[in-house]
Structure 1
Amino acid sequence: MSEPLLEVQNLRVTLPGAAALLRGVSFGMARGEKLGLIGESGCGKSLTALAVMGLLPEGARVEGSIRLRGQELVGLDDAAMARLRGDRVAMVFQEPMTALNPLHTIAAQVAEPLRLHRGLDRRAARAEALRLLERVKLPNAAQRLDAHPHQLSGGQRQRVMIAMALACGPELLIADEPTTALDATLQHEVLTLIDELVRGSGMGLLLISHDLGAMARHVQRVMVMYAGTVVEDGPTAALFARRAHPYTRGLYAARPRLGAPRGTPLPTIPGRVPELADLGPGCAFAERCALAVAECRLAPPAPVTVGPAHRARCIRVEGTLS
């Protein structure tokens, strides 16, 4: 078995005056593994990533465990987390225009983690920043060093974000919707680039997306989240082939299809994601699920083994299979 990299156990996150936004999230990642996290907006994907990074809003209460190569991150003080962030664990945010500082040059921003974590002087950090920008295939990298973010296109800014994240050779890279603002061609280029950079490095990748096609092409294992809980997880091919949880089936059915007649409406999941404060004691998806029975509303469903390393939280698993 590969060496454990990230171990998350029973993670709960509660904001002041709010219900728990993450409710018992558990998963593990091996060194070099690529794991995907999918679900609708508001299901807890980005919050999971921010919890790992130690970037939750002020006043957030965190329960459970987050261990990076055996080191417990829950409870670490700000200074200790700052030493890890950008060094051992790094993140590519979904909107580079807001993640990059508009007042600083590209060279200064890519060089910053190198100066903070590697102790490089200004000249050496600038030279390494150029190497990194060339590595992520930024066009005319040398000429872009003294540019500011607004002078670059969206795809170019995302390449700069990737260069910053990879600067110190992190053990874990989190990519949170890294292609949201890009067109289809650039989406493919950026995800392929991340694949190439991660492959063979031993770096783990946690890829967050709503794009099921991207997951099928770029990760080895998938977790499906709904209302702050992982409702299904398993090897990518097995999960998409079997789709044991009704919510996973709904997401899969709603994906766009090539060749469909123009104007064909996409299937939708009825209802809306519930307010977390309004959740009852049972399955959070019960009110939107065509297969729900009275028992679904009584208690949270336990994980059911669907296949090798493939589990779903649904008491009607057998009823959802073809």
Structure 2
Amino acid sequence: MALLEVKDLHIGLQTQRGPAEAVRGIDFTLERGETLGIVGESGCGKSITVMSLMGLLPASARVTGSIKFDGTELVGRSEKAMCQIRGNRIGMIFQEPMTALNPVHTIVRQIGEPLRLHRGLTGAAARAEVLALLERVGIPDPASRLDAYPHQFSGGQRQRIGIAMALACGPDLLIADEPTTALDVTIQKQILDLIQSLVAERGMALILISHDLGVIAQSVSKMAVMYGGSIVESGPTDTLFAARAHPYTQGLFAARPALGAPRGTRLATIRGSVPELVDLPPGCPFAGRCRLTVDACHTTRPPATPLPHGHLARCLRLDEALATEEAVA
């Protein structure tokens, strides 16, 4: 049995222009110890998908489909029941550590909270466990900093503290939502190396959200490309990097800067702009921006077409896309 199984997940949100589908029938599975990367433009549904796994969606959100975690259905589960899973069996590293940490509470109190709630540790036992966690994530001289506040740490150190909180109860699944966005390049690498080593060390499954294709290539064994609330392409990372099938994926890769390109070389772009959720076509969400768009693309949702090596893509003109594999005009 898979650790995580998501089937036909739909998430509807209320917007100023009316109801909109933020996630449109996505499917994926994650085995124990497996690593999954999710990529795509801002607003494509990456973060709201993982928030649904944690039960952290707005009260007005409408969720249908199935999210099974270790055989337990999470859709429709009560807040009380989700509190037994959140921070215990599923841990999450948030994008911005300064907003994820409470500025008026000490570090030992914040990291110790899940230990108190889920493992019943208090006093000296909880303090000792927090100290061990801070040592493991590389906080310098942690014994003297247990009673410090978030503002007394650098950005990279705050993210390490966030990782310690996520790991406190030894979760089966770790979610990292763009954990290096606010950090400089050197610190980014340190944080990513730390997450990878901890996942391997503890045998956790990992979902990593990132805009950086290089990070995805180095960090996860399989990946999913999202656009307009849909997973348009998925498969093993090596396979997808070597044989990009969906026009949107091809456009993302073509837009990367090329090492050694002549000065002044213009990057390839994807024509048009990302539509608002309420304006997405009922068919393929990429219809209109895609160079291969035909009338049927606007009205017919493409099925997930199997390709070699566990690779899937949703495109009505997949043969043409595979034949060209050119940059999106």
Instruction: Please indicate the TM-score interval, normalised by the length of the shorter structure.
Output: over 0.9
Partner of 1:12: 10
Aligned-partner Cα distance in 2 for 1:94–1:217: 19
Aligned-partner Cα distance in 2 for 1:123–1:262: 60
Letter in 2 for 1:12: H
1:39 and 2:37 are equivalent in the alignment: no
Asked if the contact 1:115–1:122 (Cα under 8 Å) also holds between the matched residues in 2, the reply is no
- The 5-angstrom pairing of residues 1-322 of structure 1 reads 3-16=1-14, 17-322=18-323
1:280 is displaced (CA, Å) by 2.2
Instruction: Write the deviation string for residues 31-58 of structure 1: whole angstroms up to 9, x where unpaired.
Output: 0000000000000000001000000012
Asked if the contact 1:233–1:239 (Cα under 8 Å) also holds between the matched residues in 2, the reply is yes
Instruction: Write the deviation string for residues 222-257 of structure 1: whole angstroms up to 9, x where unpaired.
Output: 000000000000000000111100100111111233
Letter in 2 for 1:271: G
Identity %: 61
**Quick one: structure 1 residues 200 and 142, their matched pair in 2 at CA, closer, same or farther if it must change by over 3 Å?**
closer
How many residues align? The count is: 320
Asked if the contact 2:173–2:204 (Cα under 8 Å) also holds between the matched residues in 1, the reply is yes
Other structure's SS at 1:308 match: helix
Taking structure 1 as the reference length, what is the TM-score of the superposition? Answer: 0.97
Aligned-partner Cα distance in 1 for 2:191–2:89: 22
Aligned-partner Cα distance in 1 for 2:282–2:228: 13
RMSD over aligned Cα atoms: 1.2
Aligned-partner Cα distance in 2 for 1:94–1:266: 27
Other structure's SS at 2:240 match: helix
Instruction: Write the deviation string for residues 47-84 of structure 1: whole angstroms up to 9, x where unpaired.
Output: 00100000001211110111100001111111110111
Instruction: Write the deviation string for residues 278-317 of structure 1: whole angstroms up to 9, x where unpaired.
Output: 1223211011111112222230111111212101000221
Taking structure 2 as the reference length, what is the TM-score of the superposition? Answer: 0.95
Which stretch shifts more, 230-239 or 247-256?
A: 247-256
Aligned-partner Cα distance in 2 for 1:128–1:222: 34
1:261 is displaced (CA, Å) by 3.8
Aligned-partner Cα distance in 2 for 1:309–1:231: 14
Letter in 2 for 1:279: L
Letter in 1 for 2:35: K
1:99 is displaced (CA, Å) by 0.5
Letter in 1 for 2:231: V
